Structure 1
C-alpha cells in the first residue's frame, strides 16, 4: 500500500487535462507509441470532436522511482460545470489532486469550484501551471492568482507543457513524494466504493471500485449494500485505456473494475458500497451525493411510430449515463415522447446528439424547463416540470422557483456588459471580488429558469468568450410567475408553453409570436397566432391567406358571375377556417429557444 498513489486531475474546461493525462501515460510507458492517440482517455467520438471530457476515465500506471516500483492510479475528470458530479465522485476516491491552470488564461470559475470539492475531501493539492510554451504565457501572474483566489502556496508550483512534454518527469516525482499513500486496513472485512459504472456488451454491467479496507478476490461472494443482493465476483480487471488488464484480486487502496455478470447498471448504483457477503460491514460509506437532474425537456421522435425505438435507446443510454432520468409523456402537438431530466444544457445537447447518432433517431426537443414548487389555495403542494401541468391561475397561491448561486470570473473590461445581462435575468448580486487589477469575480443568485435557455451563449458573446461560469443550486424562492401559452388558429400548442416572470411576459409573448409568424407556412385561410396568459390575449400576429384566383376563367360578361364566384370562395375560406388544421414545422418548436 505504501507504493500506491491515487490522484486525479482537476481544471477548467480546455486547460489541458486530457493532454496532460496522455503525457503521463506515455512517460510511464502505459501505452506503446504505436497504440498512442491524442486524448486517449476520451473514448467517445463526441468528446474528441468537441474537445471536452464527458465521462471520468481511470488508468493504472507503473513507474520506477529510486529503484522502487510505484503504482499510480490516474483519474481524468470532466471540466464542464454540467458534469461536476463526476468530479465529486472521482475526488472522493483519491488522496491527491493536480490543480491544472492554463498559463495564459489563469484561474477560471470551474477551477475554483472543483478545488473546493477537493479541499472538502482533504486532498493533497499540487498546483501545476500548464501551456508554458505559449507566447501569451505568464506563469508568475497565474501563480499569484492561484495564491490570491484559492489560497494555495505556489512558490514552487510546477511549470509544465503537456503538449511538448516539458516538466512531466518532475511532475510524476512530485506526485510520488507529495501525495500520501492510501490509508486502510488490509485485514478488515471488504469495503469498497463504486464510483463509476457502465455497460459492456460482453461482460454486462461493470463497476469501477476503490477498495478502502480488505480486498476483493476472484470468485468471492460480495454483498451490494443498497440492494442487499449477493453476487459472485466473475472477473477483476485493472483499468487501461487500450484494454483491461486481468487480475486475481484488487488489494486494499487500489482501484479496479469489477464484473458480477449483472444485466443492468441500476443494480450497481454509483456511490454504493460493496462488502463481503459472509463477513459484512455494518455501515455503508457516507458522503456520496447522487446526481440530481437540473433541466427537463421533452424529447419526441419526428416520425411518431419511432416511440418504442426511442424508449429502447434511452434505456440503453442510461446504462452508460447514470445521471439520465426519463418518464413517458404525451403532447397534443407532438404525440408520444419522453420527459427527460438532464444535469444541464451541455448534458442535454450531448444526450440528444448521442441518441441521434448512435440509434439513428430524428428528435424534436421542447424548450428546457426546471422544477417549480406550486402551492395551491387549499394548502397542498405540487411539483411541476412541464408548463402544461401548471394548475389554473385561480387555484395557485404561489409558485416557488429554484435559484442557483452563479460565480463568474471576467476581465474588468466586460464588467458592465455582464452586470447588465445579470440584472436583465433577475440576478441578485451577493459578492464582487477583484482577483487582480484586471480580473474580477462576481457571485449572483439567479433563478434557474433564466440560465437554462441561452444564458451561457449570451455570457460568452458579451465578453468575447473570456468569462468563465460555474453554478451550484441553492434554495427555491417565491416568484411572480405565469404560464405563457401560444395559440395557433385558436388552439393552444402545449409544446410551446413556457413559464415566465410576469413582468417579462408581454415582451416574451410578442417576440414569440413574431418569430412564429416567420416560421409557420401560409395556408389557404387566414391564421391567427396569439400569445395568452390564461384567457387573456397579450400579443397577436396574423398570417395572411394564400389567394387563389377563382375569377381567372371569366372573360368579360356580367359582373354578377364574378361576384358569385368570389362569394363562393369567401364561404369556402370561412368553412376552412373553422375546421382547418395547421401543421407546424419543426423550426416552430425551436422558436422558444431563440427568443431573447
Structure 2
C-alpha cells in the first residue's frame, strides 16, 4: 500500500504560470485544459475559462486564483495528475501569489516573444525562485510577425539568470507547442513530498463565496489526509469546522472521498463569510493536530484608502448592501462609515493597491448599478504625537487626512515608501527619470538589457507611496507611449516633512478635498487645485475666493468674479448721482450676500477636482 502511495506522489505535478499582463497566461491555461480533455471544444464557451469575472476577461487580467486538475498521458505511457494554479500577476495581489507559489513545486515562466521580459514577470519569478521552484521557460506568441524568440531567450538568461536553452517555443492561441509544454511539466517539475501518516497539515490557498455551498476553500495538502466528515481546525483563526464536501476542479466541480498529501483541491464546511478564511492559514485535524502551523502566514493589510460616496444620497443603503455583498467574495478590502459636510454619508474603504481600488469601484458601478464619487486616495501615515496636559505621547495611524490631529501635538510623521522597478525603452528614459525625480524619488540602480535597437533600461527607484497613488502609473504609460512596465514592493515607513493642505471655498474648508502633501510640493498642488476649481464652480452674484491653506497660512488663491447685474439700465438721463446711488446700494447688497450667501459646488466639480490627480 505504501509503495502504491509513494508511486502516486511520483505521478503528481503541481505548477503555476508566471507571466506579465497580456503575455498569454490565461490562453495557455485554456489550451492545456483543452489538450488534456478537461473540457471539449463545445464546452469552451469563451476564452480565458479560468477568468470568471467580466472585468477579468475584459482587461485580460487575473484577479482571483483558480485551480484545475488535468490528466495527461506522457511519453513514457504513464498518466500524470497535473494541478495548475492560475495566479494573479499584479503587485496588489503579491501575498496571494506567494501562497499560491508555496503550494506548488514548479512554475511555467511565460514570456511574450514580441515584448520580452517585463517588470511584473521579474517580481513573480524571483518569488518563485525563493520557493525553490523548478522553472520551465515558455516563449509564447512565436507566430506573431514581430516575434523575436532568440532575442527573448537571451533576455531570460541575461536578466533572470535562467538557462533558456531548452525553453519551449509555443503559441497558445494557435495551439503550437502545447504537447511540448505538457511533457516539459512532467519531465522537469519535481513531484511533491508528503507523508500520509503524519498529522494533517493543509495550506489555505484561496477562498470564494458560492451562493449554494457557502465559502469554497482551495487547499494544498502537505501531510496527512483531508476527508468528508472530518473535524478540522484553522490554526491562525482558531476556529473549528466540519467538512461536508471534498473535491477538485477539472475545471468542472468533481467530488472526491479525500485529498491526500501533495494534492490540490477544494473543501466546503458551511462557512458563511470569506473573512473567516485567511489566505495562508494552516488547516489541521482537531483530534490529532499538527504541532506548528506552516510558515509564511501574514495578515493582509490595506495599503491605499479612499472615501466612496453615492452621487445620489438616496443610494446610501444600496451602497452599504453592495459593499457587504462584495466583501462576501473579497475579504482583503475593509470599509467603515464616514460622513462629509460636502458629500454627505459614505464609506472609508481600504484596498491592497490602486488596481484593487479600481476593480472594486468598477464592480460597484457595473454589478450594482451605483454612481459613485471617489475621494483622492491616501496612504497610511504613522503620526508620533508628543505629550500633552491630558494625554501621554503615542503613535497613531492616520487613514483620512480630515482626521489629522492638532499640528502642535505632532512630533513627526512617517509615510510608507516603495522600491519600484521600471523597464523602459532607452528613448523614453529621460522623461521617466524626470517623472521619478519630480515625485521625490531616490535612484538606486540603472542598468541596460538587450542589444542594438531594442535596448531597454531597468531603473530602480525608491519612491514615497503617497506620490505613486495619484496618477503615477498613467503618467508613466503616457510618457513611454505604453512601453514602460512598472512593479513595486513596500520597504517600510520613513519620516517626512508632511503637512495637511486644506481647500477653502468662500472661506469655508471643504473636507473632502483636503490632502496630506510634502511641504516642497504643497504650493504647486494647491495652485493646481485652486485653478481647477475656479473653472468648475459656477459664478455667483458675489465674489468667491478659493484658497489652499496649510494651517492658517494661505499658499494659493484664485477668485471667481461675481456675475454683475446692470442696475443702472433703467436710468435715462438725470444727474450722475442717481447712478452712483444705485451702484452704492448694489455694493452693500453684494457685501451682505458675500457674508450670508452660501456657495453651491456642483457634484461634477467635486468629481472632476478629485480625478485631477496632480497634473499641476
Q: What interval of TM-score do these two structures reach, taking the shorter chain for normalisation?
A: over 0.9
Whole-Å separation in 2 of the counterparts to 1:95 and 1:117: 13
Whole-Å separation in 2 of the counterparts to 1:257 and 1:579: 65
SS class of match (1:474): strand
Specify which of 20, 27, 31 is matched with residue 35 of structure 2.
27
Corresponding residue number in structure 2 for 1:324: 333
The answer to whether the 8 A contact 2:248-2:254 is kept is: yes
Counterparts of 1:402-551 in structure 2, within 5 Å, are: 402-437=416-451, 438-551=455-568
Whole-Å separation in 1 of the counterparts to 2:211 and 2:366: 18
Whole-Å separation in 1 of the counterparts to 2:151 and 2:230: 54
Alignment partner of 1:7 is 2:15: yes
Corresponding residue number in structure 2 for 1:591: 609
Whole-Å separation in 2 of the counterparts to 1:316 and 1:25: 31
Corresponding residue number in structure 2 for 1:195: 205
TM-fit CA distance, 1:555: 5.8
TM-fit CA distance, 1:338: 1.4
Counterparts of 1:268-307 in structure 2, within 5 Å, are: 268-307=277-316
Whole-Å separation in 2 of the counterparts to 1:585 and 1:273: 51
Specify which of 346, 350, 354 is matched with residue 337 of structure 1.
346
TM-fit CA distance, 1:292: 2.4
Counterparts of 1:364-375 in structure 2, within 5 Å, are: 364-375=373-384
Corresponding residue number in structure 2 for 1:392: 406
Specify which of 77, 80, 97 is matched with residue 67 of structure 1.
77
Alignment partner of 1:16 is 2:3: no
Whole-Å separation in 1 of the counterparts to 2:402 and 2:238: 40
Alignment partner of 1:130 is 2:140: yes
The answer to whether the 8 A contact 2:235-2:293 is kept is: yes
Whole-Å separation in 1 of the counterparts to 2:570 and 2:260: 92
Whole-Å separation in 1 of the counterparts to 2:611 and 2:462: 23
Whole-Å separation in 1 of the counterparts to 2:498 and 2:277: 40
TM-fit CA distance, 1:556: 5.7
Identify the range of structure 1 (556-565 vs 502-511) with the bigger mean alpha-carbon deviation.
Answer: 556-565
TM-fit CA distance, 1:395: 2.4
The answer to whether the 8 A contact 1:411-1:440 is kept is: yes
Whole-Å separation in 2 of the counterparts to 1:323 and 1:231: 22
Whole-Å separation in 1 of the counterparts to 2:237 and 2:91: 31
Whole-Å separation in 2 of the counterparts to 1:292 and 1:567: 61
Whole-Å separation in 1 of the counterparts to 2:598 and 2:225: 67
Could you list the per-position Cα deviations for residues 73-105 of structure 1 after superposition, in whole angstroms to 9, with x for gaps in the alignment?
Answer: 111122222222232121111111001111111
Whole-Å separation in 2 of the counterparts to 1:225 and 1:377: 39
Whole-Å separation in 1 of the counterparts to 2:541 and 2:192: 75
Corresponding residue number in structure 2 for 1:228: 238
Whole-Å separation in 2 of the counterparts to 1:454 and 1:259: 41
Identify the range of structure 1 (293-302 vs 543-552) with the bigger mean alpha-carbon deviation.
Answer: 543-552
Could you list the per-position Cα deviations for residues 456-490 of structure 1 after superposition, in whole angstroms to 9, with x for gaps in the alignment?
Answer: 11111111111111000002111111111110010
TM-fit CA distance, 1:586: 2.9
The answer to whether the 8 A contact 1:512-1:592 is kept is: no
TM-fit CA distance, 1:568: 4.2
The answer to whether the 8 A contact 2:274-2:330 is kept is: no
The answer to whether the 8 A contact 2:237-2:281 is kept is: no
Whole-Å separation in 2 of the counterparts to 1:579 and 1:458: 42
Corresponding residue number in structure 1 for 2:4: none
The answer to whether the 8 A contact 1:235-1:259 is kept is: yes
Whole-Å separation in 1 of the counterparts to 2:64 and 2:119: 20
Whole-Å separation in 2 of the counterparts to 1:228 and 1:464: 50
TM-fit CA distance, 1:452: 0.5
Whole-Å separation in 1 of the counterparts to 2:319 and 2:292: 39
Could you list the per-position Cα deviations for residues 4-63 of structure 1 after superposition, in whole angstroms to 9, with x for gaps in the alignment?
Answer: 111000011111101111111111111111111211111011111112111121111111
The answer to whether the 8 A contact 1:13-1:78 is kept is: no
Whole-Å separation in 1 of the counterparts to 2:412 and 2:604: 33
Identify the range of structure 1 (68-77 vs 363-372) with the bigger mean alpha-carbon deviation.
Answer: 68-77
SS class of match (1:355): helix
Whole-Å separation in 2 of the counterparts to 1:494 and 1:226: 39
Whole-Å separation in 2 of the counterparts to 1:230 and 1:406: 41
Could you list the per-position Cα deviations for residues 436-473 of structure 1 after superposition, in whole angstroms to 9, with x for gaps in the alignment?
Answer: 34122111111111111011111111111111110000
Could you list the per-position Cα deviations for residues 115-157 of structure 1 after superposition, in whole angstroms to 9, with x for gaps in the alignment?
Answer: 1110111111111111111111111111111111111111111
TM-fit CA distance, 1:579: 2.1
So what's the TM-score if we normalise by structure 1? 0.96
Whole-Å separation in 1 of the counterparts to 2:299 and 2:579: 73
Specify which of 80, 103, 111 is matched with residue 113 of structure 2.
103
Q: Give aligned pairs, total.
A: 595
SS class of match (1:516): helix
Whole-Å separation in 1 of the counterparts to 2:356 and 2:82: 30
SS class of match (1:89): helix
Specify which of 152, 157, 160 is matched with residue 167 of structure 2.
157
TM-fit CA distance, 1:500: 1.3
SS class of match (1:262): coil
The answer to whether the 8 A contact 2:308-2:349 is kept is: yes
Whole-Å separation in 1 of the counterparts to 2:462 and 2:169: 36
TM-fit CA distance, 1:546: 2.1
Could you list the per-position Cα deviations for residues 300-337 of structure 1 after superposition, in whole angstroms to 9, with x for gaps in the alignment?
Answer: 11222333322222122122112111222222211222
The answer to whether the 8 A contact 1:310-1:361 is kept is: yes
Alignment partner of 1:312 is 2:316: no
Structure 1 residues 551 and 89: CA distance shift in structure 2, 3 A: same
Whole-Å separation in 1 of the counterparts to 2:241 and 2:600: 54
Identify the range of structure 1 (372-381 vs 56-65) with the bigger mean alpha-carbon deviation.
Answer: 372-381
